[in-house]
Amino acid sequence: MTLELQNVSRQVDGRVHIHPTSLTLQKGTMNVLLGPTLSGKTSLMRLMAGLDRPDGGAILWQGQDVTGQRVQDRGVAMVYQQFINYPGLTVYENIASPLRILGRPKAEIDRKVQETAAMLRLTPMLTRKPLELSGGQQQRCALARALVKEAGLVLLDEPLANLDYKLREELRVEIPRIFEASGAIFVYATTEPEEALLLGGNTATLWEGRVTQFGPTPEVYRQPVDATTARVFSDPPMNFLAVVKEGQRLKFGSTASAPALGSLAALPDGRYRAGFRANHLFLNRPSASAVSFRTKLSVTEITGSETFLHLGHEGERWVGLVEGVHALTPGAEIEVWLDPAHVYLFDAEGRLAAPAPYARAA
């Protein structure tokens, strides 16, 4: 069982929503669509579901061309960010409603409702109505209604975005378990890199209607093919800095330099763009090879156990994420440290020239 997109594209009122895109999703896989708002995640899902028809290309389901097939004739279930339940029906009746529409026998409906409710831990709530449930329970009810059809393709469009932090964490843990039990192809859209890492499986990064990379989630995170993918798969977005490779040294500006470690040492000499994530800036020297920068602090954000530092350096804006609570004065100059083991190098076109040495070893 596979879903295959063959060079599909989509325009609305002359504006490109999806550039020509090819993807193959296999049975029993979790596939995350990761990108910022308006990057094309929902547009791509609507093409997969059959809610929209592509302007070009073809969509194949189990080898059969379903490009022009109606959504109701496909084995697809979809759950939206704004989860939808029928408020006048009980949880049992909500879950049973797709099966009743399909005309399934009463005994089969009852069996599948009970099985799906148990999988989603809704059995004690079957006689309640949605408004008597918590937000997380309501979202599980919407998921149950999608799963009970035993659809081969389940599309989840930012399903946890409107829930509070505690409920999001609860369902993030449960969704991989639900996915494993169903055996369907899952496609999950999110704006949050952390969520993609938690869900695992495969990730497709999207930027302005283009899939920039698709592959196993840890691989896309550790070895992004270009600076755009690295930016999408970093929260806060990846920091950048001009660097010159000369021999076995990396020269950052006129004063700072560091050894070219691992994969960086084999690069041809020349000018590159260094990229590094927020959690790889430090207030104290992390290693003997680390290099220091004088930066100007604009804002601090304390989360409780960590502090975000918004910094300026030679016209670049950086964000650092450091452990602990730090009482620093906005406007002050502070020294930060960067370990070259965590530096990616990109060429003039933004393509990955060398992954961070730590990433290749991981």
Of 225, 260, 291, which marks where a domain is finished?
A: 225
Does 249 lie in the same domain as 184? Answer: no
Does 250 lie in the same domain as 140? Answer: no
pLDDT of residue 360: 56
Structure tokens at 280: 């790889």
In a domain? residue 186: yes
Of 225, 255, 283, which marks where a domain is finished?
A: 225
In a domain? residue 122: yes
Contacts from 68-73 at CB under 8 Å and sequence distance 24+? none
CATH number at residue 65: 3.40.50.300
Does 244 lie in the same domain as 112? Answer: no
CATH number at residue 333: 2.40.50.140
335-to-63, 194, 236, 285, 297 alpha-carbon distances in Å: 58, 28, 20, 10, 10
Q: Which residues of 166-190 are buried (b: 16+ CB within 10 A; e: fewer)?
A: ebbebbbebbbebbeebebbbbbbb
In a domain? residue 230: no
Q: How far is CA 118 from the centre of its chain?
A: 28
Does 264 lie in the same domain as 142? Answer: no
Report d(CA 160, CA 142) in Å as an integer: 12
pLDDT of residue 99: 93
Under 8 Å between Cβ of 188 and 32: yes
Query: Range of 47's domain?
Result: 2-225
pLDDT of residue 49: 93
Of 158, 193, 225, which marks where a domain is finished?
A: 225
- Answering whether pTM is above 0.85, one says yes
pLDDT of residue 147: 83
In a domain? residue 105: yes
Does 281 lie in the same domain as 221? Answer: no
pLDDT of residue 362: 43
DSSP H stretches of helix in 123-192: 135-147, 165-182
Q: How many domains does the chain have?
A: 2
pLDDT tens digit at each of 362 positions of the chain: 799 999 999 999 999 999 999 999 998 899 999 999 999 999 999 999 999 999 999 999 989 999 988 887 888 888 887 778 899 999 999 999 999 988 999 999 999 999 889 888 899 999 999 999 988 888 889 888 888 887 889 999 988 777 777 777 777 777 777 777 777 899 999 999 999 998 989 999 999 999 999 999 999 999 999 999 999 999 999 999 999 999 999 998 777 888 888 888 889 999 999 999 999 999 999 988 899 999 999 999 988 789 999 999 988 999 999 999 888 999 999 999 998 899 999 999 999 999 988 875 44
In a domain? residue 110: yes
Does 208 lie in the same domain as 170? Answer: yes
Does 334 lie in the same domain as 248? Answer: yes
Does 124 lie in the same domain as 12? Answer: yes
Does 142 lie in the same domain as 220? Answer: yes
DSSP string, 53-115: --SEEEEEETTEE-TT--GGGS-EEEE-SS----TTS-HHHHHHHHHHHTT--HHHHHHHHHH
Does 321 lie in the same domain as 184? Answer: no
Does 292 lie in the same domain as 192? Answer: no
pLDDT of residue 176: 79
pLDDT of residue 15: 94
Does 303 lie in the same domain as 282? Answer: yes
In a domain? residue 40: yes
In a domain? residue 231: no
Residues with Cβ within 8 Å of 200's Cβ and at least 6 positions away in sequence, in order, are: 30, 176, 217, 218
